[in-house]
């Protein structure tokens, strides 16, 4: 508390001549000293960390005076264009709309956040972008960002702390409900201390994970634009608010193309985080109804970069004339990120999938060996884990620190998780589409679960209801992927299940996804290299009924507890142990039939692009840090190879 100032000059002389008053004065200062000393431990606990970037454990690869990320070419030339492709249609330019189908908007290059995207050679780190620095208490109960006063939106207006607070609240009021629910629990307030200083205060009694980086990574919109236009974040619209990023929307043609141009007046070209990046003058996205049409357009030079996902095309179709002449490069580049956990996903919101024996039986209908050999040219490996090939992939029977963690969770942990090897994808004989051994095993599991085969060969439960599976796919799916799903459905039909694959318009498919109106879909989750509260959105119970990031609707108290344990870890070793346990339990839940993966990028591009060598491990970076060789580009155009 503040104290009164000591008496002024006349009384000071009286005090000096009076022993009694001198003793009182000495006692006063002694008491003040003791109060101050007593407060020192509390003050020491209020340690404030100031930094140019953020990582949870405090270790940053790049110092405050770094000039550029190590993997970029800081002298990369600016200019030229890159043309990509997208499948399907769009009727909105708003990526956050909950209605209609949005274009493949380049959010990261048009809208910025206080912290920039993490570097591609270091995981779990972010460096200041709109913010030049940040400070937070050691307990991470609050964070203050000091913004760059030179930051501007593309319309020339300044980016301020008021825009940051507005954007934060906009996502809470009009964003995805699962996001808003999760953030409201963790972030108590957002406050503009002045035009360029913003403070976030966090809830007590929760994990400190995904607090600073959550608020620091939220896109910042122009409050002025939203207030003047009356636009909503969740509406479908063809207007595009100004962003502060290096690119701006140039033009669009509904369901045909979207064009972005590099903003020469972009405020942040001088920042070390941007050196050697954002090198193309123009980024264009061409839209096609299906992948066959898209591939023919690539061969004809209508777009310039194609990342292939279809193994049949990769194995058989890249011998067209331009590739043979060397005008198109066809390469396999390393991918250091665990493959996306992709597969056939059960909608656990449907009661018929509640019994794990049913999910195991249905999984046995998938024959990876036959599919890979007959449809995919042997180019894939079978995926087992949600973090395939990562150091924390669960294997064998849990032991050491992982076993201790699981044992500490008591009765939540099934005996099979604790004492049996991690669940692996089943093996099949590849000579035939159907593995009869697996078929017999699946039939027995379905019988045990109460779905018996009737005289007509169809499986029914005790109420006489036929076991049906509705499996929608977008009509834009590559033919090889569609064929693999059809084969899976035919094997299910041999088991007496009425499984139907329905190819529908991509826009209609998007609506089905949002409404969870499916029995099974082919979809993906996201691999986890570190703990974060986003794990609850993807795998947790609280928002399972509404989270678009959790297509299965997985809701497991054991999964929730392990995620909490990972979030509460105090060292990297504890974190990795908890994530290994999470991988083990997710596989035990059998909410996804794992399919296939590859550990390389299949990439083809017209030979006018160059990239750093070697590439960083965590990002291919075509749009980020590749560039155009102007001489090669001019030669291709002069020859008539490119349109």
User: What span, in angstroms and rounded, lies between the C-alpha atoms of 145 and 196?
Assistant: 8
Fold of 257-336+599-638: D-Maltodextrin-Binding Protein; domain 2 (3.40.190)
Report pLDDT digits (tens) over 557-607.
999 999 999 999 999 999 999 999 999 999 999 999 999 999 999 999 999
Residue 353: exposure state from Cβ atoms within 10 A (0-12, 13-18, ≥19): buried
pLDDT at 38: 43
pLDDT at 267: 98
User: What span, in angstroms and rounded, lies between the C-alpha atoms of 225 and 166?
Assistant: 11
Check if the beta carbon of residue 386 is closer than 8 Å to that of residue 586: yes
3-state secondary structure of 406: helix
The listed CATH number (3.40.50.2300, 3.30.60.50, 3.40.47.10, 3.40.190.10) that belongs to domain 51-75+112-238: 3.40.190.10
User: What span, in angstroms and rounded, lies between the C-alpha atoms of 20 and 26?
Assistant: 10
3-state secondary structure of 173: helix
Domain limits of the chain?
9-45, 51-75+112-238, 257-336+599-638, 342-597
Low-confidence ranges of the chain (pLDDT < 50): 1-44
User: What span, in angstroms and rounded, lies between the C-alpha atoms of 299 and 308?
Assistant: 13
User: What span, in angstroms and rounded, lies between the C-alpha atoms of 314 and 476?
Assistant: 18
256-258-261 Cα angle (round to 5): 150
Count CB-CB contacts under 10 A for residue 40. 9
What Cα–Cα distance (Å) separates residue 268 from each residue in 333, 334, 495, 624, 627? 30, 31, 60, 15, 19
What Cα–Cα distance (Å) separates residue 413 from each residue in 384, 393, 404, 447? 21, 18, 12, 27
Please report, in angstroms and rounded to a whole number, the separation of the first and last CA atoms in the chain. 75
pLDDT at 105: 64
What is the DSSP annotation of 227-259?
A: HHH---TTS--S-----SSSEEEEEEETTTEEE
Check if the beta carbon of residue 107 is closer than 8 Å to that of residue 95: yes
What's the full length of the chain, in residues? Answer: 643
What Cα–Cα distance (Å) separates residue 119 from each residue in 71, 212, 213? 9, 17, 14
Topology alike, domains 51-75+112-238 and 342-597: no
pLDDT at 45: 53
SS3 string, 131-147, reads EEEEEEECCCCEEEEEE
User: What span, in angstroms and rounded, lies between the C-alpha atoms of 530 and 55?
Assistant: 11
Which residue in 287, 322, 300, 247 sits closest to 84, CA to CA? 287
| Alpha helices per DSSP H over 392-522 | 400-408, 415-419, 436-448, 479-494, 506-515
User: What span, in angstroms and rounded, lies between the C-alpha atoms of 104 and 202?
Assistant: 33
SS3 string, 258-296, reads EEEEECCCCCCCCCHHHCCCCCCCEEEEEEECCHHHHHH
- Calculate helix-pair angle for 356-363, 436-448, nearest 10 degrees: 160
pLDDT at 619: 94
Compute φ and ψ for 199, nearest 5 degrees.
Answer: -120, 135
The listed CATH number (3.40.50.1950, 3.10.450.50, 3.90.700.10, 3.10.105.10) that belongs to domain 342-597: 3.10.105.10
Peptide linkage before 157 cis (omega within 30 of 0): no
Using only C-alpha atoms, the chain has a radius of gyration, in whole angstroms, of: 29
Compute φ and ψ for 49, nearest 5 degrees.
Answer: -100, 125
Compute φ and ψ for 193, nearest 5 degrees.
Answer: -75, -35
Count CB-CB contacts under 10 A for residue 476. 21
What Cα–Cα distance (Å) separates residue 234 from each residue in 102, 108, 190? 11, 18, 21
């Amino acid at each position: 508390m503040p104290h009164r100032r000591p008496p002024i000059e006349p009384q000071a002389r009286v005090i000096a001549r009076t022993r009694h008053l001198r003793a009182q004065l000495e006692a006063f200062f002694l008491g003040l000293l003791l109060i101050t000393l007593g407060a020192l431990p509390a003050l020491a606990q209020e340690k404030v960390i100031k930094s140019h970037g953020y990582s949870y454990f405090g270790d940053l690869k790049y110092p405050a005076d770094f000039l550029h990320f190590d993997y970029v070419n800081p002298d990369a030339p600016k200019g030229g264009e890159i043309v990509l492709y997208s499948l399907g249609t769009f009727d909105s330019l708003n990526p956050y709309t909950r209605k209609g189908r949005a274009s493949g908007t380049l959010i990261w290059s048009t809208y910025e956040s206080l912290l920039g995207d993490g570097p591609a050679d270091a995981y779990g780190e972010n460096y200041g972008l709109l913010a030049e620095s940040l400070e937070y208490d050691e307990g991470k109960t609050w964070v203050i960002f000091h913004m760059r006063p030179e930051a501007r939106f593309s319309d020339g207006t300044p980016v301020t702390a008021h825009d940051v607070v507005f954007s934060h609240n906009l996502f809470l009021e009009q964003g995805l409900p699962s996001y808003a629910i999760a953030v409201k629990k963790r972030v108590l307030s957002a406050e503009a201390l002045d035009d360029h200083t913003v403070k976030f205060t966090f809830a007590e009694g929760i994990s400190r994970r995904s607090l600073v980086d959550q608020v620091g990574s939220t896109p910042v919109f122009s409050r002025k634009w939203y207030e003047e236009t009356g636009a909503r974040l969740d509406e479908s619209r063809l207007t595009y608010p100004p962003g502060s990023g290096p690119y701006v929307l140039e033009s669009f043609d509904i369901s045909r193309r979207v064009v972005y141009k590099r903003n020469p007046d972009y405020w942040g070209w001088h920042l070390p985080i941007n050196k050697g990046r954002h090198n193309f003058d123009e980024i264009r996205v061409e839209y096609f109804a299906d992948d066959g049409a898209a591939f023919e357009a690539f061969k004809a030079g209508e777009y310039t970069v194609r990342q292939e996902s279809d193994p049949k095309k990769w194995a058989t179709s890249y011998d067209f004339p331009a590739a043979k002449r060397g005008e198109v490069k066809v390469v396999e580049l390393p991918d250091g990120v665990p493959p996306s956990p992709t597969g056939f996903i059960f909608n656990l919101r449907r009661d018929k999938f509640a019994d794990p024996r049913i999910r195991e039986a249905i999984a046995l209908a998938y024959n990876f060996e036959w599919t890979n050999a007959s449809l995919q040219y042997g180019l894939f490996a079978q995926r087992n884990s949600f973090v395939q090939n990562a150091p924390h992939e669960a294997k064998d029977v849990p032991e050491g620190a992982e076993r201790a963690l699981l044992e500490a969770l008591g009765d939540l942990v099934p005996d099979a998780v604790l004492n049996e090897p991690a669940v692996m994808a089943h093996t099949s004989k590849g000579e035939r589409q159907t593995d009869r051994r697996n078929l017999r095993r699946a039939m027995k599991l379905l019988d045990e679960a109460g779905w018996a085969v009737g005289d007509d060969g169809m499986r029914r439960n005790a109420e006489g209801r036929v076991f049906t599976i509705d499996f929608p796919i977008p009509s834009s799916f590559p033919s090889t992927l569609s064929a693999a799903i059809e084969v899976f459905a035919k094997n299910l039909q041999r088991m007496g299940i009425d499984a139907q694959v329905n190819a529908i318009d991509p826009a209609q498919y998007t609506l089905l996804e949002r409404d969870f109106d499916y029995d099974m879909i082919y979809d993906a989750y996201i691999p986890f290299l570190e703990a974060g509260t986003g794990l609850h959105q993807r795998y947790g119970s609280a928002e399972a009924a509404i989270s678009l990031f959790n297509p299965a609707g997985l809701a497991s108290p054991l999964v929730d507890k392990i995620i909490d344990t990972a979030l509460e870890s105090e060292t990297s070793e504890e974190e990795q142990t908890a994530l290994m346990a999470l991988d083990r339990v997710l596989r035990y839940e059998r909410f996804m039939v794992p399919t296939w993966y590859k550990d390389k990028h299949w990439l083809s591009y017209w030979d006018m692009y160059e990239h750093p060598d070697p590439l960083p491990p965590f990002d291919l970076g075509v749009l980020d840090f590749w560039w155009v060789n102007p001489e090669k580009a001019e030669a291709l155009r002069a020859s008539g190879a490119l349109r």
